[in-house]
A and B are shown apart, each in its own frame.
Chain A
Amino acid sequence: MLRLSPLSSMKSLPLPPQVQIDAGGPRFWKSLEEWSQSPDFLPYLHREFPEYASAWDNGMSRRRFLKLMAASFALAGLTSCSRQPQEKIVPYVRRPEEIIPGKPLYYATTFSHRGYGKGVLVRTEMGRPTKIEGNPDHPASLGATDVFMQASILGLYDPDRSQTIRQGNDISTRDAFTQFVGARIEAHEQDQGAGLFLLTGKTTSPTLADQLQRLHERFPKLSWCSYEPAAPVRAQSILGHDAEPVYDLSKADIIVSLDADFLLDGPANLVLTKAFSKKRRDPAADFNRLYVIESAPSITGAKADVRWRRKPSEVITFTQQLAAAIAQGVAGDSPEIRQLANDLQQHRGRGVIIAGDYQPEVVHALAFQLNQTLGNIGSTVTYQEAQQTPIPTTSLPDFVTALKRRAASTLLIAGANPIYDLSPAWGFSNAMARVTHSIHLGLYDDETGSRCHWHVPGSHYLEAWGDILAIDGTPSLLQPVIEPLYPDAVSLVEVISLLVDLPPKKGYEIVREFWQRSLAADVPAAWELSLNKGVVAGLSPQALSPTPVVSVRDAPPEDLPNSSDLEILFRPDTAVDDGRFANNAWLQELPRPLTKLTWDNVAMISLATAKSMGVTTGDVVRLEAAGQSVDAPVWIQPGHADGCVSVTLGYGRSQLGEVANGVGFNAGLLRSSVAAWSQALTRAQATGARLELASTQHHFSMEGRDLIQIETLADYKTDPSQAQENQPNPPPEENLYPPFAYKDYAWAMSIDLNTCVGCNACVVACQSENNIPVVGKDQVFKGREMHWIRIDRYFEGEPEDPAMHFQPVTCMQCEDAPCEVVCPVGATVHTSEGLNDMVYNRCVGTRYCSNNCPYKVRRFNFLEYSDATHPTLALQKNPDVTVRSRGVMEKCTYCVQRIESARIDAQKEMRPIRDGEIVTACQAACPADAIVFGNINDPASRVSRLKALPRNYGLLADLNTHPRTTYLAKVTNPPTAI
């Protein structure tokens, strides 16, 4: 059911050396008979006791049968005595420092994604990493995580990771590879590296930069190209620098997103979400307003107070009109522009215009100009110098051309997958075929790897030493939390070390030596502190104040497609990114925020476009652009701009692993370059085929039920408790059973719908914490996904352009729980602290509890979903949470294992559990701090205070279930005159 490979996909193991005496080598012999290959001897070679073996060939007589049976029984009895090892073994007398069995340890390290780092704390249980949390000390994490960080732990244990060094079709060794590299160094010392080609993904590692500089000194003519299939666009040619804009949303009252999905995507997403949600927490205090102009709905668009859908070319014209309106005071006839310009003018210095990472340069330049005119630069936006490349780089087209021209060469590809990323028009495959020695370093022996002469398994970031910069330039270290699962795995710095160091060094030495030189005074202490905190202390970037070197008006005009043309826009996928996470089953099965689609990518279009094309959701269309075509299933998405098709990258893998292969289509084939984010679509034609798409939510409307309470800021200010008044009155309560008394603690949760951005981090965090299985596309299609927390997404208003709302739904832990009464075996019971506990051992699987749960948060193991066939996946499991078998109901427990762990700590110290001591997995992951957990018996606790707010309401409270999880109503802040 799980689309994961069995371990049999492991390459055939190297034979033990004694067997490898074949014709070629010297002939060894043990006796003269063997040497002579005499006919008498041959049977001895093949059978252990040849003279007895023939005696058994006679048919079985009754007597012999009885003799054998008697002997078997007698001997069987012997085996029942347990065999002790003969060698002397020594028990654990003094435990290793810091390790207490059953107690997890947390280590700080850094998750790197598209070249930037986000700090994480890795929970290890007796040496095995099991869970990722955010590192509060790291400036790009601030304690929060996103889905990629959360799911990266599964990537470590992915059974499809490559496990051995491969040369050609044979398994090779580390020594052979080192020797080979040595030979190549010699060759390239002759040509000064002119035939040495290095292709990597974007990296900001200071150690690697240092290594590259040394490499460049040794091989001055080497070519290095670094590219990302999902690299952000910057206003480089206009600003004259590769300057990174840094936004400070805590100062921004008006935020304008020009197709920027800043809440979900990019290296600063967590920081921006935190700052954004902070200004949405208390409607009575300051409250920001978000304008979003976008083509395909994003979670940022869903959070917008005003959202305008525009196709990609119209986003550019919109920006130009807005810039004109602000610069010259020309409002134009567009009421939208007038409205927005007016609002921005009124909030000079307190607004911010954010150009989307995937917008063309002109939009970035205009955004810069707008921010400058409005006085936002220095207040809500600052610019900083992006990290300089340590050595000259070659652009990707030049790199490919050079590769094609050069006959004898060495190509090292690390952290890049050009065969998959680039469309065949690039001819990269041909170029590679001409390379005499190609080496691939990567986690998977993927599309590119399989075309290389050598493949070296890359180490996962949790297995390797390294360093990386955060988006704001703060460096942080990577430390391994586990020995590489596969001994052959090496990191990029270790491979580069083969080229620059003699003798080659281990990762630790390389990184440590670099920082020895770079760190301030007391190196051992600073090193330890940096490892401990996960951030290199005392190093922070400098702000820039860029002035445009070219006037924005002189910027080269974008050649916009005709307004009637169909356009296509590309985005990294919200779950598998540019394809690097495509083999991660958690991410594949993660319902995408707005479509709630799993296990596929789609060609997303609006209702009107679908009508004009005569297609509907699930119809396969052939998309043609840039001379290529792909077949893609259509998905009609409310809120999508008309006249354009949006597709996501990262799918259509052919050689990654059993999870990824054959899922979706490769939209990247249609891109004219790796920086092309939107372009004209030549043709889109229905093929007549259909594809079943597995979505977890089929019904989009709230059917007029008050599930998400929404009010405008103006209404809230006149009547703050509107949310509660809107609730239908529950019928008077009569109960056959006496109420529960909660003496010590009463656990409860508050979820703020106003700050929740629907980013899904909680969903993956919960999956990781609670050993939640993956079920596969066919099971999701049948409606059997297992997520304990789901984010319901509703549309409100016209189907063409609706408002969008998110509502995370977990078990409500009702005080009068409908599930508890109907379980015939008492497998779901109420605790003295108000939890609805599941007793997995007792559950027989009548599923009545699920039927009777009005929130439908219970999940059932319809089949054996827990994967017991892959030994590495077992290592990821949280030892404090039962792995459920088939036929058992399961659901959110409020992370009861974390409650109990806090209780043990508190009891040891003879004190009550403190407020905030228990942090549930979803709460810990949430970048918006929308989830708060605590004890409502303590009126001073954070959750009690939140529940006392007028915005507090219970979902379906009219059923008298008394949910312990309650919501804070959503408040929107539309401008008054729209």
Chain B
Amino acid sequence: MDSTASETAPILPPDLTDDSITERITGIVVKRKMGYGWIGGFAIAFALLMMFNYAIAVLFTYGVGIWGIQVPVAWGFAIVNFVWWVGIGHAGTFISAVLYLCHQEWRTSINRFTESMTLFAVACAGLFPILHLGRPWLFFYLMPYPNTMELWPQFRSPLVWDVFAVTTYAIVSVIFYFVGLLPDLATLRDRSPHRWQRIIYGILALGWRGAGRQWSRYKMAYLIMAGLATPLVVSVHSIVSLDFAVGIVPGWHTTIMPFYFVAAALESGFAMGLILIIPVRHFYGLKDIITGRHLANMAKLLLATSLVVGHGYFTDTFMSWYSADPYDKFITADKFTGSYAFGGWMLMILDVGVVQLIWIRAVRQSPIALFFIAILANVGLWLDHFILVVQSLHSDYLPSEWRMFYGTKWDWMTLFGSFGLFLTLFFVFIRIFPMVAMSEMRGLVHKKPGETKEAGA
């Protein structure tokens, strides 16, 4: 079906109606029994989550020394994972806010997915800076809270900017998500067969009645939230990148960082979106709502961002040569020829090279191919952050203190454990919230084909 779907076809098939959309989406939440597939998937995710808990318990008991970090590589997996997860969050906001503002209506089928992904990714990301601390119980020292000693965070530090950036992003994302959910929660309330469901959804729906005034206020609020969320797409990862760019570590200290970080973030987000959407639309039979065209558009965005990332690599390498800074030149050469050369080449192959297959129409239209390309791209982007953090640190200024970094089993358990948290949240999400924004879909169905804007990519 998908392989034959044309990229010029309308976004939605013509046989969809208000009722059928509502029925199918709410049905997944309120009527569908828990299948073995869901239970199996959830069990795996939950097991990973428990592993995560265990790794964290051990971490809090003994300290960050259970990881492979040392001097000079004092940052390791925790920071890599943080940057990677924050990045994944970005695509959700980009799809819901930026594409909304740009009237890219095809986004309607997938924005709930990607927004959920954003929230869960930010939840994962938000844990890591705290786990990363030597004394995590004192994490609140990074917050500007009034205290008798009049001690404040040190505002010159990019880590403090980080705290603001990530918290703002998390708060805005939650509100934006919740506002978007309101009409759908009301639908769920009305369609739930059980009283307890009606009560819970009723409370969450905040008294939504679908009145004209409510719709008008809602539209305005949503637009404003979208406007607020849009700069965050750029700001969060720019500021995360300053954690590196402000440092004097060779390989970190470059001005290209913010630009390149945002591109990498979007790429990992689009890839993660594809990784999640492709199986879900298959198992829940949503191929007519999330069509091949959606996937192709996502793939095109992935391709575009990967090209920007590739450009970033080129510029970074060129500038380190052009700068004639001996330390920077050394670290760049080391990236491709030194102890981490395998990672240095691999990341480029995965997050830029492999993604170029999307130029081929057949690949673009094959969900399976896209699924694997997306996974590889995300592995590549994780490697990218790993090389950035670890390889830059492992040989900086004084050769006497150069040392290789090796992750321990606790490092890996924390990384894979965070997948558990992410997936558990995602499995729960598809059981309790409508995974497609019904209210917006219904709006889209009413538009005649001619009125629907062609989605470009």
Interface residues of B in 233-265 (CB under 8 A from A): 243, 246-249
Distance between A838 CB and nearest chain B CB, rounded to angstroms? 13
Identify which of A850, A862, A889 contacts B65 (C-beta below 8 A).
Answer: A862
Q: A640: CB under 8 A from chain B?
A: no
Interface residues of B in 58-77 (CB under 8 A from A): 62-66, 68-75
CB-CB contacts of A699-713 with B at 8 A, as 1s and 0s? 111111101000000
Binds B, one of A74-82, A181-189, A766-774, A852-860: A852-860
Question: With contacts A705-B399, A782-B68 known, is A959 near B248, CB below 8 A?
Answer: yes
Least CB separation from B142: chain A residue:
A824
Q: A919: CB under 8 A from chain B?
A: no
- CB <8 Å contact, B138 and A844: yes
Binds B, one of A336-344, A447-455, A815-823, A934-942: A815-823
Q: B157: CB under 8 A from chain A?
A: yes
Give the CA-CA distance A702 to B397 in the complex, in Å: 10
Give the CA-CA distance A218 to B157 in the complex, in Å: 78
- A/B pair count, beta carbons within 8 Å: 163
Distance between B406 CB and nearest chain A CB, rounded to angstroms? 8
Distance between B320 CB and nearest chain A CB, rounded to angstroms? 16
Interface residues of B in 145-175 (CB under 8 A from A): 151-154, 156-160, 163
Residues of A within 8 A of B65 (CB): 779, 784, 862-863, 886
Residues of A within 8 A of B141 (CB): 824-825, 842, 844
- CB <8 Å contact, B134 and A861: yes
Q: B362: CB under 8 A from chain A?
A: no
Residues of B within 8 A of A846 (CB): 132-134, 159
Question: With contacts A822-B246, A823-B154 known, is A697 near B134, CB below 8 A?
Answer: no
Identify which of B248, B393, B399, B403 contacts A702 (C-beta below 8 A).
Answer: B399
Residues of A within 8 A of B336 (CB): none
Interface residues of B in 200-258 (CB under 8 A from A): 243, 246-249
Give the CA-CA distance A124 to B414 in the complex, in Å: 47
- CB <8 Å contact, B71 and A783: yes
The CB with the most chain A CB atoms within 10 A, among B64, B157, B396, B401, is that of: B401
Distance between A96 CB and nearest chain B CB, rounded to angstroms? 38
Question: With contacts A699-B395, A888-B135 known, is A851 near B249, CB below 8 A?
Answer: yes
Q: A880: CB under 8 A from chain B?
A: no
Distance between A846 CB and nearest chain B CB, rounded to angstroms? 6
Distance between B135 CB and nearest chain A CB, rounded to angstroms? 4
- CB <8 Å contact, A856 and B72: yes
Distance between B253 CB and nearest chain A CB, rounded to angstroms? 10
Question: With contacts A784-B70, A844-B139 known, is A854 near B248, CB below 8 A?
Answer: yes
Distance between B323 CB and nearest chain A CB, rounded to angstroms? 11
Distance between B230 CB and nearest chain A CB, rounded to angstroms? 27
- CB <8 Å contact, A856 and B71: yes
- CB <8 Å contact, B142 and A844: yes
- CB <8 Å contact, B393 and A851: yes
Interface residues of B in 389-407 (CB under 8 A from A): 393, 395-404
The CB with the most chain B CB atoms within 10 A, among A707, A842, A851, A862, is that of: A851
Q: A698: CB under 8 A from chain B?
A: yes
- CB <8 Å contact, B157 and A822: yes
Q: B386: CB under 8 A from chain A?
A: no
Distance between B234 CB and nearest chain A CB, rounded to angstroms? 22
- CB <8 Å contact, A863 and B63: yes
The CB with the most chain B CB atoms within 10 A, among A862, A886, A888, is that of: A862
Least CB separation from A775: chain B residue:
B65
Q: A792: CB under 8 A from chain B?
A: yes
Residues of A within 8 A of B68 (CB): 782
Interface residues of A in 824-849 (CB under 8 A from B): 824-826, 842-848
Q: A377: CB under 8 A from chain B?
A: no
Chain A contact surface mostly: loop
Identify which of B71, B158, B159, B395 contacts A850 (C-beta below 8 A).
Answer: B71
Interface residues of A in 917-956 (CB under 8 A from B): 955-956
Distance between A654 CB and nearest chain B CB, rounded to angstroms? 30
- CB <8 Å contact, A784 and B403: no
Identify which of A705, A793, A852, A887 contacts B63 (C-beta below 8 A).
Answer: A887
Give the CA-CA distance A707 to B65 in the complex, in Å: 31
Least CB separation from B139: chain A residue:
A844
Residues of B within 8 A of A889 (CB): 134
Q: B279: CB under 8 A from chain A?
A: no
The CB with the most chain B CB atoms within 10 A, among A700, A705, A856, A959, is that of: A856
Give the CA-CA distance A636 to B357 in the complex, in Å: 49
Q: B41: CB under 8 A from chain A?
A: no
Q: A306: CB under 8 A from chain B?
A: no
Identify which of A807, A845, A855 contacts B134 (C-beta below 8 A).
Answer: A845
Interface residues of A in 787-819 (CB under 8 A from B): 790, 792-794, 807, 809, 818
Distance between B311 CB and nearest chain A CB, rounded to angstroms? 27
Residues of A within 8 A of B134 (CB): 843-847, 860-862, 886-889
- Besides A844-B134, A844-B136, A850-B71, 11 other CB < 8 A contacts? A794-B400, A822-B159, A824-B142, A824-B163, A845-B64, A848-B243, A850-B74, A887-B134, A887-B135, A888-B135, A889-B134
Binding site for B on A (CB under 8 A): 697-705, 707, 728, 779, 782-784, 790, 792-794, 807, 809, 818, 821-826, 842-848, 850-852, 854-856, 858-864, 885-889, 955-956, 959
Binding site for A on B (CB under 8 A): 62-66, 68-75, 132-136, 138-139, 141-142, 151-154, 156-160, 163, 243, 246-249, 326, 330, 393, 395-404
28 residue pairs from A and B, CB less than 8 Å apart:
A699-B400, A701-B399, A705-B326, A705-B399, A783-B73, A790-B400, A793-B400, A794-B400, A809-B398, A809-B400, A818-B247, A821-B157, A822-B247, A824-B142, A824-B154, A824-B157, A826-B154, A843-B134, A848-B157, A852-B247, A854-B248, A855-B398, A856-B398, A886-B65, A886-B135, A887-B64, A955-B398, A956-B397
